[in-house]
Structure 1
Amino acid sequence: MALNNRFLSFLKEKIGMDKSIAYSSGSRIINACAGIITIIFIAHFFSGEEQGLYYTFGSIVALQVFFELGLTNILTQFVAHENAHIEWENNRIISGDSKHLSRLSHLFRFTLKWYAIIAAAFLVLILCGGFWFFTEYSHNIKTSSWLYPWILVTTATAANLFMAPFYSILSGVDKIKETSKITFYQQLGMPLAVWLSIICGGNLYAVGIGYWCSFFIGITCLRYSKLWRVLYEVKKAPIAEKINYRSEIFPFQWRIALSWASGYFVFQLFNPVLFATAGATVAGQMGMTLSAVNGVASLSASWISTKVPLFSKLIALKEYLQLDAIFKQTIIQLGILCTLMLGVFWTAVAILEYYQIPLSSRFLTLIPLLFLEVAILANQYANCWAVYLRCHKQEPLLANSLLGALSCGLSTVFLAKYVGVTAMVAGYCILRIIFMFWNYLVYRRKRIEWHTSEQSL
């Protein structure tokens, strides 16, 4: 028992792993391990073209960022700022300013309507847009092999999109451990559904089946747990004062929306562009490689993402010294972890190539992989500084995001079409390093500006 306690103390003090991170990173560890197994399944059961379709499906449905317009990301911050003035006990509100209770309830009701509309719009537009894209650029692939799987994927993604605000609201009211636990279960069930589907010959249907499995796990965990009571407590509060969307949310959201929409051109454009210019097989190599390195990035990102409610609360209470101390420790831990894991993955691919194991042909080669990993690490640091700034309900990185999207988008399309994959990834790496330093300069300037002005009042 003493040894166990010392180990838990080490996890908490040395690497910053609390219960929220444990569940969040636990789900990401499962996701990473599941991703490795999925890669093996895809390499064994899928052709190169099917692999390209599999990963391009994911890149196209990622267009959902153009529909949610950044609200999912900022909702937790807005809820946390209101929740800082509310007291909870046993999943019930026991006290709180009526103004903040009212605003919290109104925010919840507003977002439910918002997401019902955008989920329907997403389904119609992306379903039709994807049909055009795959018809135009997959002449050598039978329509029947991708059409029905595509319908299954888009309907499942729309359903999960509608569920997004529930998790954001709960995270904002200090239920991040519980929502991370749901994510843990989803990441456990989703790959099992995918593998079973592939074994049974479902192949591309496995993508949509996995998404639907995630949806049903999520809604079941919400409905048959105490979290449903929390949502009811938020919703039932009488509305005397409303949040003014136009004057409070929109001035922040439109910047976040542009920033997140810009992120599509930075993080998701590779697969569709390569699918159209180099073919499904090359797109599949990029997709499988991105799946692996993004799994690493997702795991390390849990160190910062689980701190959003805490950062927002400390900012609302103007506890800036504590905020900066926690942030500094978090970014150091995240950077070390991400670097080590990316190094392990590069070494693993190098071993596969050295011994000429067939699985190596499903990934990018070592040089473009190295460029991609450096870019991923740069993105991790840039994201940490962005999270810190956005927890202040401000978005000072809009110009950075727009120029980053424009430059990365143009670079990706031009280099992929006229030079090749290695040049495309190298260009991406150079640009991400440049914009990482820009993020840092904005973070350093705004941190001093905002905190100094607040303390002088």
Structure 2
Amino acid sequence: MPRRLIKLLGLDRSVALAGVGRGLGMVLGPIGSVVVVWTLSAQEQGLYYLFLSLVSLKAFFDLGASASIAQMTPHLCKANGDGTEGPDSSFIHVAVSWMNKVALGFGLFCGVFGIGYLYWSGQASVATQAMWLATVCTTALTGSQEGRLQVVYGSGRVDAISKLRFSSLLVQYPVQWVLLLSGASLFSFSASALAVYIFQRMTLRRKFPALWPSGDFSGVRAKELKTELGFLIRRASLTYISGVLVSQVQQPIVFKTLGPEQSAKLGLSGMIGSTLIGLSSLWCLTMFPRFARKVAEGAIQDAYRDFRMTFLRTVAVATGGFAAALVAISFLHYIPRFSERLMSIPQVLPLFAALWLGNIALSMTYWPRSFKVEPFAMVACSQMIVSPLAVWFFSRWLGLTGVGWGNLCSWIVGVFGIALVTRRFIPSFDRRPKVSALDIT
């Protein structure tokens, strides 16, 4: 029975390695939550989740860029002399340059914006401002690394990236916990992020020296790649902004309207739900380079069969994660201090339903993106309007429960639009899209 279930769910090596990393995060994450609860005051914990929400604005800058690099890489891979496959040095140079610019833009904008928001919220102490700037700087550094990570991922070396992210957790959490227990407060999170950045850079430099190309990249090839990647990034950035708003906009709203304590409840409960339900994203995430590679080679029917089976497995795992999240919330309510820092079951039901629906909708997007296009910009714009308005309205009306209902309404709109777009890319409808992102208007 276990073997049949493993085969049915498609638990191959890539999914297992990625799952081990997520599993380690699921083990270390709750331990970290205990450390946070016992070392930080309710006020500091509210600031912690606020910082997490504000630095998630990084997605406005780099998620579109990193995803676009991952989308283009499988279409540019070719055999190297050492028996591996990967894109040429011109594309690597262009990709890394893009991510460096994105990281710099994020650091400058978010640093100033965060200081202004903290002043507006009455958090004007020097210590709070310093902790925020440290958080922004280390987040920008880790973001600049994503260009090289996505090149490796898009080249089909998913296992290498999974192992690196797994090892990074073993660096991040011990550093974070030691500093928290030493009284470093929120500085512990920026210090652990810096440690991860240094570790990842050293590992990539040792294992993938080709990620640091040298030479003249001012030729026609580099300019063409820069133009194509830039076009794809602009469209992808619009799409990923909606994901930030849907998943993160509730924290600043709740912090301002309902206070730090309610913000802490939302942050901890949402982390539990997103961790367990989000496990389903591993299936499409690990299979995407395979889909895209087959599409680039013209084997579209074969690629779609793989995607369809992967999507069905994603739905099954997300449903199991939904149930597990409810059980986890119920159990944690019996643990001292957690009961006063968690939302109740009626409060989390609409929130977890929104997380479930969001994971299903985002899994659909992997198929059209296999064609090196980003067709979800209009859907994203619709969600950017619906999300903040719905969360604000329902939270004012229903309190903390309303945050989940606002997100659920937003994702109902999102899943409808995503399904309509994805339908056009299904081979049975005989509407095969063009491969080049520049051909999409």
Same-fold status (TM-score > 0.5): yes
Q: 1:183 offset after TM fit, Å? A: 0.7
**Secondary structure at 1:359 match in 2:** coil
Relative contact order higher in (CA < 8 Å, ≥ 6 apart):
1
Q: 1:320 offset after TM fit, Å? A: 2.0
- Counterpart of 2:23 in structure 1 is 29
Q: Pick from 33, 36, 58 the counterpart of residue 42 of structure 1.
A: 36
- Mean CA deviation greater in 374-383 or 256-265: 256-265
2:363 counterpart of 1:384: yes
Q: Distance in 1 between matches of 2:79 and 2:226?
A: 28
Once the two structures are superposed, the pairs formed by residues 77-116 of structure 1 within 5 Å of their partners are 77-83=71-77, 86-88=78-80, 90=82, 104-116=88-100
Q: Pick from 382, 386, 390 the counterpart of residue 407 of structure 1.
A: 386
Letter matched to residue 107 of structure 1:
F
Q: 1:300 offset after TM fit, Å? A: 2.0
Q: Pick from 277, 290, 298 the counterpart of residue 257 of structure 2.
A: 277
Q: Distance in 2 between matches of 1:68 and 1:105?
A: 21
Instruction: Say whether the 8 Å CA contact 1:171–1:309 is kept in structure 2.
Output: yes
2:154 counterpart of 1:175: no
- Counterpart of 1:427 in structure 2 is 406
Q: Pick from 238, 259, 262 the counterpart of residue 258 of structure 1.
A: 238
Q: Distance in 2 between matches of 1:454 and 1:273?
A: 40
Instruction: Say whether the 8 Å CA contact 1:189–1:214 is kept in structure 2.
Output: yes
- Counterpart of 2:187 in structure 1 is 205
CA root-mean-square deviation: 2.6
Q: Any idea what the Cα deviations from partners look like across 1:231-256, whole Å, max 9, x if unmatched? A: 25x66698663352575334432221
Residue segments in structure 1 that go unaligned for 5+ positions in a row: 1-5, 94-99
Q: Distance in 1 between matches of 2:409 and 2:318?
A: 19
CA distance change for structure 1 residues 179 and 394 in 2, over 3 Å: closer, same or farther?
Answer: same
Residue segments in structure 2 that go unaligned for 5+ positions in a row: 435-441
- Counterpart of 2:438 in structure 1 is none
- Counterpart of 1:96 in structure 2 is none
Q: Any idea what the Cα deviations from partners look like across 1:125-150, whole Å, max 9, x if unmatched? A: 211211111122135xx714422221
Instruction: Say whether the 8 Å CA contact 2:291–2:304 is kept in structure 1.
Output: no
Once the two structures are superposed, the pairs formed by residues 60-209 of structure 1 within 5 Å of their partners are 60-68=54-62, 70-83=64-77, 86-88=78-80, 90=82, 104-139=88-123, 143-209=125-191
Instruction: Say whether the 8 Å CA contact 1:27–1:184 is kept in structure 2.
Output: yes
**Secondary structure at 2:372 match in 1:** coil
Q: Distance in 1 between matches of 2:416 and 2:49?
A: 30
Instruction: Please report the TM-score for the alignment, with normalisation by the length of structure 2.
Output: 0.90
Once the two structures are superposed, the pairs formed by residues 221-370 of structure 1 within 5 Å of their partners are 221-225=203-207, 227-228=208-209, 230-231=210-211, 241-242=221-222, 244=224, 248-353=228-333, 355=334, 357-370=336-349
Q: Distance in 2 between matches of 1:188 and 1:248?
A: 37
Q: Distance in 2 between matches of 1:88 and 1:200?
A: 49
Letter matched to residue 201 of structure 1:
G
Q: 1:78 offset after TM fit, Å? A: 0.7
Q: 1:89 offset after TM fit, Å? A: 5.8
Instruction: Please report the TM-score for the alignment, with normalisation by the length of structure 1.
Output: 0.87
**Secondary structure at 1:150 match in 2:** helix
CA distance change for structure 1 residues 394 and 332 in 2, over 3 Å: closer, same or farther?
Answer: same
Q: Distance in 1 between matches of 2:65 and 2:345?
A: 38
CA distance change for structure 1 residues 450 and 80 in 2, over 3 Å: closer, same or farther?
Answer: farther
Q: Distance in 2 between matches of 1:450 and 1:251?
A: 27
Q: 1:356 offset after TM fit, Å? A: 7.1
**Secondary structure at 1:307 match in 2:** helix
Instruction: Say whether the 8 Å CA contact 2:251–2:266 is kept in structure 1.
Output: yes
Q: Distance in 2 between matches of 1:284 and 1:90?
A: 51
Q: 1:105 offset after TM fit, Å? A: 2.3
CA distance change for structure 1 residues 262 and 430 in 2, over 3 Å: closer, same or farther?
Answer: closer
Q: Distance in 1 between matches of 2:433 and 2:182?
A: 61
**Secondary structure at 1:396 match in 2:** coil
Q: Any idea what the Cα deviations from partners look like across 1:26-66, whole Å, max 9, x if unmatched? A: 11111111111111112222221111111111111111122
Q: Distance in 2 between matches of 1:196 and 1:372?
A: 33
Instruction: Say whether the 8 Å CA contact 2:314–2:363 is kept in structure 1.
Output: no
Letter matched to residue 114 of structure 1:
W
Q: 1:418 offset after TM fit, Å? A: 4.9
Q: Any idea what the Cα deviations from partners look like across 1:85-125, whole Å, max 9, x if unmatched? A: x12464656xxxxxx96xx3222112222222232222222
CA distance change for structure 1 residues 249 and 377 in 2, over 3 Å: closer, same or farther?
Answer: same
Q: Distance in 2 between matches of 1:450 and 1:187?
A: 44
Q: Distance in 1 between matches of 2:276 and 2:192?
A: 20
**Secondary structure at 1:363 match in 2:** coil
Instruction: Say whether the 8 Å CA contact 1:107–1:243 is kept in structure 2.
Output: no
2:383 counterpart of 1:398: no
Q: Distance in 1 between matches of 2:158 and 2:5?
A: 19
CA distance change for structure 1 residues 286 and 454 in 2, over 3 Å: closer, same or farther?
Answer: closer
Q: How many residues align?
A: 433
Could you tell me the percent identity over the aligned residues?
21
Letter matched to residue 202 of structure 2:
T
Instruction: Say whether the 8 Å CA contact 2:95–2:147 is kept in structure 1.
Output: yes
Letter matched to residue 112 of structure 2:
C
Q: 1:396 offset after TM fit, Å? A: 2.3
